[in-house]
């Protein structure tokens, strides 16, 4: 099929964008990593797939926000641990991995009252990512 509505430049841009769409589609078709559950009704399967679709949408929006903010601030890349390789197109998976080491501990007295909250300080890359996606570091305090 030939698209006669696009000029050569727009056709090339659309062609180069296709792998990004294919990657999203592949993620949607991949195996779900959830705890084993029995979905006995089609409506439950549909609901689970809808939730999975929403999760993919949120991932895409996080990446979009991050990349747009990087462009706006003139950042060609950010250093993503653990490899500390520069990434011009950080993925949501990489962002989640950066925050996976976060820990929060609650200290309770014998009578069940919370005495103190202990949290790890944010690393510089965590602060940078939160700043880029417009989330206050106080969320993690």
Q: How confident is the model at residue 75, as a pLDDT?
A: 93
- C-alpha–C-alpha distance, residues 131 and 69, integer Å: 9
| Residues whose CB is less than 8 angstroms from the CB of residue 34 and which lie 6 or more positions away in sequence, other chains included | 48
CA distance linking residue 96 with residue 90, whole number of Å? 11
User: Any idea what the Cα angle at residue 33 is, between residues 30 and 37, rounded to 5°?
Assistant: 115
Nearest to 94 by CA among 70, 76, 78: 78
The pLDDT of residue 125: 92
**Residue-wise pLDDT tens digits, 84-95:** 888 898 988 899
Identify the band that residue 141 occupies on the pLDDT scale cut at 50, 70 and 90. Answer: low
Give residue-wise pLDDT tens across range 21-77: 666 666 666 665 555 666 777 888 788 888 888 988 898 899 999 999 999 999 999
CB-count exposure of residue 66 (10 Å: 0-12, 13-18, 19+): buried
The answer to whether 97 and 105 are in contact (CB under 8 A) is no
């Amino acid at each position: 099929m030939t698209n006669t509505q696009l000029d050569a430049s727009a056709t090339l841009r659309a062609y180069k964008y296709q792998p990004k769409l294919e990657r999203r589609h592949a993620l949607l078709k991949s195996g779900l990593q959830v705890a084993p559950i029995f979905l006995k009704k089609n409506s439950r399967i549909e609901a689970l797939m809808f939730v999975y679709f929403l999760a993919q949408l949120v991932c895409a929006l996080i990446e979009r926000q991050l990349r747009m903010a990087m462009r706006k601030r003139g950042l060609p890349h950010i250093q993503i641990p653990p490899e500390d390789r520069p990434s011009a197109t950080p993925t949501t998976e990489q962002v989640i991995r950066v925050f996976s080491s976060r820990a929060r501990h609650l200290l309770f007295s014998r009578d069940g009252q919370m005495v103190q909250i202990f949290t790890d300080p944010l690393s510089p890359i965590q602060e940078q990512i939160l700043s880029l996606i417009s989330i206050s570091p106080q969320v993690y305090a």
